[in-house]
Amino acid sequence: MSMYTLLRNNPEPHMEDIEDAFQGNLCRCTGYRPILEGYRTFAKDVNCCGSVTNGTGCCRSGRENTMNGGCCGGKANGPGCCMNGKEDSVTMTSSSLFNSSEFQPLDPTQEPIFPPELMTQSNKQQKQMCFKGERVMWIQPTTLNELVSLKSQYPNAKLVVGNTEVGIEMRLKNLLYPVIIAPAWIPEMNAVQHTETGVTFGAACTLKSVEEVMRKAVADLPPYKTEVFQAVLEQLRWFAGPQIRNVAAIGGNIMTASPISDLNPVLMASGSKLTLISKEGKRTVTMDEKFFTGYRKTVVKPEEILLSVEIPYSRKGEYFSAFKQASRREDDIAIVTCGMRVLFQDGTSRVEEIKLSYGGMAPTTVLALKTCKQLTGRDWNEKLLQDACRLLSGEMDLSPSAPGGMVDFRRTLTLSFFFKFYLTVLQKLSKSGTKNMCEPIPSSYISATELFHKDPIANAQLFQEVPKGQAVEDMVGRPLVHVSAAKQASGEAVYCDDIPHYENELYLTLVTSTKAHAKILSVDASEAQSVPGFVCFVSAKDVPGSNITGIANDETVFAKDVVTCVGHIIGAVLADTQEHSRRAAKAVKIKYEELKPIVTIQEAIEKQSFFKDIKRINKGDVKKGFEESDHILEGEMYLGGQEHFYLETHCTLAVPKGEDGEMELFVSTQNPMKTQEFAANALGVPSNRVVVRVKRMGGGFGGKETRSTILTSVVAVAAFKTGRAVRCMLDRDEDMLISGGRHPFLGRYKVGFMKNGKIKSLEVSYYSNGGNSVDLSHGVMDRALLHLDNSYNIPNVSGVGIVCKTNLPSNTAFRGFGGPQGMMIAECWMSDLAQKCGLPPEEVRKLNLYHEGDTTHFNQKLEGFTLQRCWDECLSSSSYHARKKLIEEFNKQNRWKKRGMCIIPTKFGISFTVPFLNQAGALVHVYTDGSVLLTHGGTEMGQGLHTKMIQVASRSLGVPTSKIYISETSTNTVPNTSPTAASVSADINGMAVHNACQTILKRLEPIKQANPKGSWEDWIKTAYESCVSLSATGFYRIPDLGYNFEKNEGKPFCYFSYGVACSEVEIDCLTGDHKNIRTDIVMDVGTSLNPAIDIGQIEGAFVQGIGLFTMEELRYSPEGNLYTRGPGMYKIPAFGDIPTEFYVSLLRDCPNSKAVYSSKAVGEPPLFLSASVFYAIKDAIYSARKDSGLTEAFRLDSPATPERIRNACVDVFTKMCPSAEPGTFKPWCVRV
C-alpha cells in the first residue's frame, strides 16, 4: 500500500523515496531486501545492485570505495568474478533471481481515478457532521466559532485530527472518551503564516505539511535564520512513519504532552509561542518550563483550544541542535530526546542565553534551568563543557526505580547529547569567524557531530545454475517464484480470519489473569452480561472432555483454582461482534489471593525451581584437560528471549457440524495433529470427529507449533457449548502476552586453552527460563547442549542443561530451537579466549574448526563437512583482511565512532531430536484432465514449502508445475503429521511426495510403454479407462536416528547445514546507536531446490537474528508482568536495519546425499549467522574501551541494544552517572 501510494503521487521515484515510504512497515520475515529489490524496478536511478549501473560502487564494476572490495573481493569483471557467470568450466553461477523484463509495465492510465467528489469537496460549503455510536459521539465542526462553542459545551472532549494517540488510548489503554471533536476542516487551524519572527502553523497542520514548509524555508532563507527549522526537520526525519506524519497534527503532538515527545523539547528550547482560544477570547503562552504542569497535563484550560504554534527564526550568533535516541532508528518512540539552543554575545563565544530541554528524563518535558543559569555569561570552552556535564548529571537525575528503566543509559545520554551539541557549536563558531576565540576540535572528534546518514542498499545473490541439458519444464534448482507471491502481494491470499463469516457466528475474547501467581477466589461475569450482544461466558466447568492439556499434560484449557502466569487463560466471553466481546471481557471481574511468583532465572536458581529431567553431556576427561591447559577462563553470558512477531497472530474458527460431536477447525497452526488431538481431548470425542484445516499462515517461526493449541481448544469448547461457529483472532498485545517466545538463557562457562588459542577443555552450564509449563523446553535444552560446540572441536566437554520453572507464560519453540543460544555462548568464550591470547579472533576460530571425519562432542562423525570451504570463500569474498586494516585505520582516526568486524561459522544439526517425529506422509490425486492435486503433511507459513513440494512432484511425475496444485493441509487427507518445524519439512515431506509420485508412475508404466509418444493427458485418460488407480499415498521416515544422553551414543542428526557470515558495523560510542554496514554470507544448502526461496530464507533468518542479538528486548516487571506487548514497546528490525551492503552466496558443488534431490534444510541454520553482527559490535566496543585505557575482556549480554552498547563504552560521561547499588531499590524491570 505504501508503494502504491508513492507511485500514484510519484510514478518515477528515486530509491531514497522508496526507502522513506517504507518507514513504519514491518516485515522481518522477508529480511526486507527482496521487497526493496522488487520495488527497485520502479526507481529511475538504480539498477542491478542499488548503485547506478557500472558507476561508482556498482557490483558489476568493482568498488571505488576502498572500504569494500567489490562483489567478490575486488575481482570485478576480471577472471573469476562472481558476476561473470563462470567460476570455472564446470559450474555456472547466476546472480539473477528474476527477470524484470517479464514484469507487466506500470501503466498509470489504467489506474482507477481518484474520486472526483473528494477533489471537489474542499470547494463546497462544509456542513457540521455528527456520528453517534453506542458510547461515543464524533463531531466534525466546520468553523472556528462552532469549534469554540462545542469545546465550551463539552470541556472534556478530546480534539482529534489523525487519531494517532486517542485511537491507541481507547483501543489499548481501555480509556473511553464519550465526545470526540475533529477540527481538521477548520481553515484557521490549517493555516500557515510567515511572520517577522517565525512561521505560525495552525494546530491541525499535519506533520507532513510542517515538514514541507520547513524544508522550503531552509532552502529559501539564510542558514542563520533556520537553525530551529533544521532541528525540527531532523526530528521529523525519525518521527513515526510517513503514514503517521501524513495525518498526525502538530497540535496533537503538543497537547498529548508526552514526556518522550520528539518535538516538544525543540519547541520548548526554541521558546515557541502557542495561541489558545476559548469563548473568553485568545491568549498567547510560551512553551517554557511552566507549560507542562504534570504527567500529560498542560496549562491549557479544559474549555480552551490550541489554535496555532509559532516556531521562531533563529538569530545571528544563535545555534540549535536536536537529538533523539531510541531502541530502533525508524518509527520508534524516544528513550531520551532533547532540544538545545545557545545564543552568543555578538561576535564572541560568550554565552548570552542557553536553553537545554529534555524529554524522557521526567514525567514532563523539562528544562535544565539550574545548569543553564550557571552557564550563562561563560565562554564556550572545555571548562564550560566539564561544568555543564557535572551540573547536568546532578540536575537530570533519575530514581533507580524510574518508570521506563534504563536509568544509567538515560542519564548518560543527557551528557552525551550536550557533548555532541558542544562540539557542533564549536564547529559552527569556527566557521563563523569566531575561530580565534574558541578551542580547535580534535580531528578525531569531528565524526561525533555528523548526523546519521545511510547509503543506498547494495546487494548481490549468487547461486549455482541448473546443469546444462536439464529439461526446461524441470523446475528443480530454478528460482521459481513462490506460488502464492502474487496473491500475497495483492492481498488476495486467504488467511484464517479472511474466511467469510458463518450465519450466527460468534466472536470470542479471552479473559486472562492479571497476576503471575495467585489463587482464584471468584470470577464474576455479571457486569459483562449487560454489554450489548453478550451471549455467554465460558470457563473450566463448560469443558465437556478433559480440562488437562499440553505436551506434558501439565496445562489446563482454562485455569480453575490457581493461575501461574500473567496471561493465563481463565475464561472467555462470546458475543455477536468482536467489539462487543472485547468490551464484555474487560467487564469480567476476578478476585485473587496473591502468591509469591518466581520470575527470573536467578530467582529459580535460588529457589531450586526446575523442571525434572536435567540433561548432561560428557566427553573425554575435563579435569585432565584443564590441568594440561595454559590458561583457564571463566565467565557467564545472558541471552534475552524473543517474541515471534509473526504478522498473523493466533487465529481459530471452529464450526460444529451438529452431529456425533463433529467439529471443523480452521486454524493458523504449524501442528494440525496436536491441534486435532488436544481439541478432541477437550471435547471428549475421538480424533476422527475433529478435522483441522490449514490453508496458510502469516508466519509461524515455531510459535504455532504447540502454543496455538491453547487458543484452539478454548474456541472448540465454546463452539461446542453454543452449537454455533466461533471465531477468535488474538490482538497483537494478547498474542504477545499469552503465547510465550524464545527461551531466555543464562550460560556459565569455564574453558581451558593453550597459548596459541587451541581449546583443551570446556565445562558449561545452561539455564533456560521455561515458564509455567514444560511444553517443548526439554527439546530446546537438548538442542542447546548438542550445539554447545558451535563448529569447534573440543576434546574434553562437560555440559549440563537445566530448565527453570517460573511464573511466566510457557516459552516454546522458536526458529533455531535452542541451537542459537547454545552457539552464542560458545562464541562468547571464543571471543574472550582470543582476547586473552592476544590473537586475531578469526585465526583462533579457524584453528579450532572441525575437519572432515572429526567426531562431535556427542560422538557423531562429520561427513560431507563443507564448513572450511564456506569459511575460506567468505574470507575471500568479504575482502576480510583488507577491510580489517581499513577498520583499524578508521578507529585510530575517530574517537566517538568505532567500527568492528567479525566472521562467524555455524553448524546446525538437521532432524527432530525426538526420533519418531522424523516421518511424513503425502497424498497425490491425478484427475482425468491430467491435473494433479497434491497434499502433504507440511504447512505453509510463507517459507515456500508448498512451492518446493510442487517442484519435487513436477520432476517426479515429469509434468509442468502449472498442472500441480496444493489446496491446504488437513488431518482428513494426511493423518498424524509431524509439526512443520526443525527445518526438515522439505526433506521429509519431499521424500513422501516423491514416493507417492513413484507409486503412480509405476502404475502408469505399462500404459506409457504401450503409447510412448502419448501425452501425459493421454496416459491419464487411458489409465482411468483401464481402471488404474490415480491416487496414491506416500510415506517417508529418516532412518537410523536416535541418541542417548546418558551413554553419549547414537545419532541425533541426519546431517548438518553449514554457513559462514562476515559482518561489519559502526557504533556511535556516545549514544550506543549502531549501523550495519556490510554482511557477506556463504551458505551450504546442498543442491538448492529453489535458490530464490533458499536465499529468501537465509536473508529472513539473518534479519530475525539481527533482532534477536541486537534489538528485540522483552521487558518484565518484577511481578512478572510483560511491558513490551506490541510494536510500540517491542522493536523488531525495520527496513533501515538491514546491512547497507548485503551479499549472499550459495556454496557451489556440494550435493547432499541424505535429502530429496540432493538439497539441504535452510529454515533455521542461517539465523545464528547474525551473531557476526553482535560480535562485530563487541569488536567495535573493544576499540572504544581501549581509548579509555581498558584492555581486558568485558561482558556484553544479548541483545546488544543501544543501552548495552553505550554502557559498555566506558568513558568520562558514564563515570559521571554511577549505577545505584543493586538491592537498594526496586527496579522497574527485571532480566528474566
Residues catalogued as catalytic: 1164
Q: d(Cα 610, Cα 604) in Å, to the nearest integer?
A: 7
Alpha-carbon 338 to chain mean position: 27
Q: Does residue 139 contact residue 130 with C-beta atoms inside 8 Å?
A: yes
Q: Which residues pair with 692 in a beta bridge?
A: 665
DSSP summary character for residue 702: T
Q: Which residues pair with 318 in a beta bridge?
A: 343
- Residue 30 identity: T
Q: Assign 704 to helix, strand or coil.
A: coil
Q: d(Cα 99, Cα 247) in Å, to the nearest integer?
A: 38
Q: d(Cα 444, Cα 893) in Å, to the nearest integer?
A: 5
Q: Does residue 213 contact residue 188 with C-beta atoms inside 8 Å?
A: no
Burial class (CB in 10 A: 0-12, 13-18, 19+), 1034: buried
Q: Does residue 676 contact residue 687 with C-beta atoms inside 8 Å?
A: yes
The DSSP line for 1058-1104 is EEEEEEEEEEETTT--EEEEEEEEEEE-BS-S-HHHHHHHHHHHHHH
Residue for grid cell 524529554: 359
What is the grid cell recorded at 835? 582476547
Q: Does residue 1158 contact residue 353 with C-beta atoms inside 8 Å?
A: no
Query: Given the DSSP bridges, would you call strands 273-278 and 651-656 parallel, antiparallel or unpaired?
Result: unpaired
Q: d(Cα 266, Cα 320) in Å, to the nearest integer?
A: 9
Is the bond preceding 1199 in cis, omega lying within 30 degrees of 0?
yes
Q: Assign 865 to helix, strand or coil.
A: coil
- φ/ψ (deg, to 5) at 889: -65, -45
Q: Is the dihedral of CA 598, 601, 602, 608 positive or negative?
A: positive
Q: d(Cα 574, Cα 728) in Å, to the nearest integer?
A: 10
Helix H or strand E encompassing 777: helix 777-786
Q: d(Cα 332, Cα 360) in Å, to the nearest integer?
A: 13
SS (H, E, C) 299-353: CCCCCCEEEEEEEECCCCCEEEEEEEEECCCCCCCEEEEEEEEEEECCCCCEEEE
Q: Which residues are CB-neighbours of 213 under 8 A, at least 6 positions away?
A: 192, 199, 201
Q: Is the dihedral of CA 386, 388, 392, 394 positive or negative?
A: positive
What do you get for the CA distance between the two ends of the chain, in Å?
Answer: 38
Residue for grid cell 488437513: 970
What is the grid cell recorded at 156? 472534556
Burial class (CB in 10 A: 0-12, 13-18, 19+), 579: middle
Phi/psi-derived region of residue 1204, left when phi > 0, alpha when psi is between -120 and 50, beta in every other case: alpha
DSSP summary character for residue 73: T
Phi/psi-derived region of residue 85, left when phi > 0, alpha when psi is between -120 and 50, beta in every other case: left
User: DSSP 3-state helix, strand, coil percentages of the chain (rounded to 5)?
Assistant: 35, 25, 45
Helix H or strand E encompassing 908: strand 897-910
When computed from its CA atoms, the radius of gyration of the chain, rounded to whole angstroms, is: 31
Q: Does residue 674 contact residue 694 with C-beta atoms inside 8 Å?
A: no
